[in-house]
Amino acid sequence: MGHMPDSDCHRLEIDTVLGPVAQALPRQADLILDIRQAALERKHPGACVRCFFELSAAASEPERLEKLRAWLERNIEIVAHDIRPAPLNRALLECFPLNLSGEDLESYCQQVMERFRHDRAHAASQVEMEFRYRAAGTADAMA
């Protein structure tokens, strides 16, 4: 037996994480497929986070989302940029881990921004924050 290609391992990992979610929330198939597609392509990390909160709102058994939560927290991070020099030449200020909490995406983002504003001492006057996938190999190191 040969070694499975990384893409097959990645697909298997995502499908394993999403399996319990699909069983618990069959009516949310569109959201689950959206997360699966974005995760497989490593695109639209913010959409994955949004879908997670929508699934959480629909779940009567939130524990069914724990594997998905853990996967998202291992694979997605939040980055803050100083956009003052020029929007196209943003300076990276900080990366910090995704820690999914809160009622919905809006309240979570508000918490993150408040925490950043009060707990950090950056001189940047205009900060932009976004979700992004962690670089390959750093997800396990930071877990």
| Domain presence at residue 48 | yes
For 61-75, what is each residue's pLDDT tens digit?
Answer: 889 999 999 999 999
| pLDDT for res 117 | 80
| pLDDT for res 81 | 85
In 3-state terms the chain splits into helix, strand, coil percentages (rounded to 5) of: 60, 15, 25
| Pair 48, 76: CB distance under 8 Å | yes
| Domain presence at residue 97 | yes
| Domain presence at residue 142 | no
| Pair 78, 100: CB distance under 8 Å | no
Calculate the average pLDDT of the chain: 86
For 85-121, what is each residue's pLDDT tens digit?
Answer: 665 667 788 898 999 987 899 999 999 988 888 777 6
Residue 83's domain comprises 7-134
Q: How confident is the model at residue 23 (pLDDT cuts 50, 70, 90)?
A: very high
Residues 4, 75, 130, 60: what is their CA dihedral angle, to the nearest 10 degrees?
A: 110
Find which of 3-12, 42-51, 95-104, 119-128 is predicted with most confidence, using mean pLDDT. 42-51
Half-sphere exposure of 127 (CA within 13 A, CB side): 20
Q: Say how many domains are in the chain.
A: 1
Q: How confident is the model at residue 137 (pLDDT cuts 50, 70, 90)?
A: low
In degrees, rounded to 5, the angle at the alpha carbon of residue 54 between the alpha carbons of residues 51 and 57 is: 150
Which range has the worst mean pLDDT, 9-18, 23-32, 75-84, 114-123?
A: 114-123
| Domain presence at residue 2 | no
| Pair 98, 50: CB distance under 8 Å | no
Distance (Å) of CA 48 to CA 67, 94, 120, 129: 14, 21, 26, 16
The closest of 112, 11, 100, 110 to 52, measured between CA atoms, is 100
